Amino acid sequence: MNNLKTFPSTCPACSASLHVSELSCSECETKIQGQFVLPQIVSLSSSEQEFMLAFLKASGSLKEMSKVLGFSYPKVRNMLDELIVKVTALSNEKSIS
Amino acid sequence: MINSVSFYEKLVGIKSSLGSIAILIASYFAAYYGGVRLDGVLNLHFTRDISHQVVITDLLVNIISLVLVFGISLFLINKRLPRLADLLPQLLWAQWPLIPLCLLSLIFDFHAMGDMAKESVNKEELMDMISSAPFWLAFFILLQGIIIHIYFYYGLFKVDSGLKGSKLGWTFTATLLLSSFLSMFIIHNISLLSDKE
């Protein structure tokens, strides 16, 4: 289990979004094949996912976030704004497809 | 040189607030003992005619003008009001390059240079002064200090607005010039009022 790698969200060859085609059980090695859509959060980069988790842990307080991350309040506010723009764009992409 | 953008990105907590108050107090003493009028956000005039009241008025008008204009500008860009608890210390931190500049008069006799220019002494004396090495050294130190001062306002504006590219350039220039004009306008009118009295 320790050999698990960081989950890729985009294709390393053409940068298109990826989908899951196979799931396997680590206990009995059962494999399920199909076309599964990735959750929206997985489409974010690892640093963006960490930011979202920190935001959740801080109960949505940007002031608390700025203390935890060591960044000024306006910087944290801008990071959140950029994340909101990205998540909105991803939602729009999904609703179109 | 310090990167003003990363400086403002990491300016957080009570230390930043206390530091900004220390800079305000240091600016006051530097302006008074250096004989400098900060009669505008980007202005710095060496003068013998200085009092506690004048120094305090200059500093207050400058900071009020900066808070007003930067606040409105950031509100228009981000569609939300910036927090005064962040903006005020940030603006005060940007004043630090003025402290060593004010104290330059203790090394270079700017007051005598100013007097000579005002009295319009004979051309030869004036040319001697302008062609002297200390004059140019002082000029370049002042110029560099003002550039660093503006660079810190730039870092602040970039972090707070989140803008990039040419839009950042022209909005920052407009904001800084507007705050400079506003402060000069207020200080000019206060001077007129006190002259009437």
Intervals of chain A under pLDDT 50: 1
Nearest Cα of chain B lies from the Cα of A6 at a distance, in angstroms, of: 28
Picking from B16, B159, B164 by the largest number of A CB atoms within 10 A of its own CB, the best residue to mutate is B159
Has residue B129 got a pLDDT over 80?
A: no
Which of B61-75, B76-90, B115-129 has the highest average model confidence (pLDDT)? B61-75
Beta bridge mates, A20:
A36
Q: pLDDT value at position B182?
A: 96
Has residue B1 got a pLDDT over 70?
A: no
Tell me: domain A39-96, CATH 1.10.3470, correct? no
Confidence of residue B95 (pLDDT cuts 50, 70, 90): very high
Q: Is B116 exposed, middle or buried (0-12, 13-18, 19+ CB in 10 A)?
A: middle
Q: Name which of A67, A75, A82 is nearest B159 (Cβ-Cβ).
A: A75
Those residues with Cβ within 8 angstroms of residue B90's Cβ, 6 or more apart along the chain or in another chain: A72, B8, B11, B20, B156, B160
Tokens of A38: 């990735």
**What part of B 60-119 touches A (C-beta under 8 Å)?**
78, 82-83, 86, 90
Whether the full predicted model's pTM is greater than 0.90, yes or no, is: no
**Mean pLDDT of all residues in B72-78:** 95
**Mean pLDDT of all residues in B83-97:** 93
Contacts of B83 in chain A (CB under 8 A): 73
Confidence of residue B116 (pLDDT cuts 50, 70, 90): low
Beta bridge mates, A32:
A23
Under an 8 A CB cutoff, do B10 and A66 touch?
A: no
Contacts of B90 in chain A (CB under 8 A): 72
Q: ipTM of this predicted complex? A: 0.75
CA–CA distances in Å: residue B171 to residues B89, B186, B195:
21, 22, 36
Q: How many CB pairs under 8 A join A and B?
A: 34
Which residue blocks in A1-97 are alpha helix, DSSP H? 46-57, 62-69, 73-96
Q: Which residue has the higher pLDDT, A12 or B115?
A: A12
B23 sits in which H/E element:
helix B14-34
CA–CA distances in Å: residue B178 to residues B8, B69, B73, B85, B168:
22, 7, 10, 22, 15
Under an 8 A CB cutoff, do A72 and B82 touch?
A: no
Task: Dump pLDDT digits (tens) for B16-28.
Answer: 899 999 999 999 9
CA-CA-CA-CA torsion sign (A69, B83, B41, B24): negative
Under an 8 A CB cutoff, do B8 and A71 touch?
A: no
Under an 8 A CB cutoff, do B10 and A74 touch?
A: no
B11 touches chain A (CB under 8 A): yes
Start-to-end CA distance of chain B, whole Å, equals 47
The span from the CA of B96 to the CA of B143, in Å, is: 15
Q: pLDDT value at position B174?
A: 97
Q: pLDDT value at position B120?
A: 59
Cβ–Cβ under 8 Å, residues A9 and A90: no
CA–CA distances in Å: residue B81 to residues A4, A67, B44, B68, B179:
45, 21, 30, 11, 17
Confidence of residue B184 (pLDDT cuts 50, 70, 90): very high
Has residue B10 got a pLDDT over 80?
A: yes
What's the whole-number average pLDDT of chain B? 88
Nearest to B152 by CA among B15, B20, B18: B20
Q: pLDDT value at position B124?
A: 74
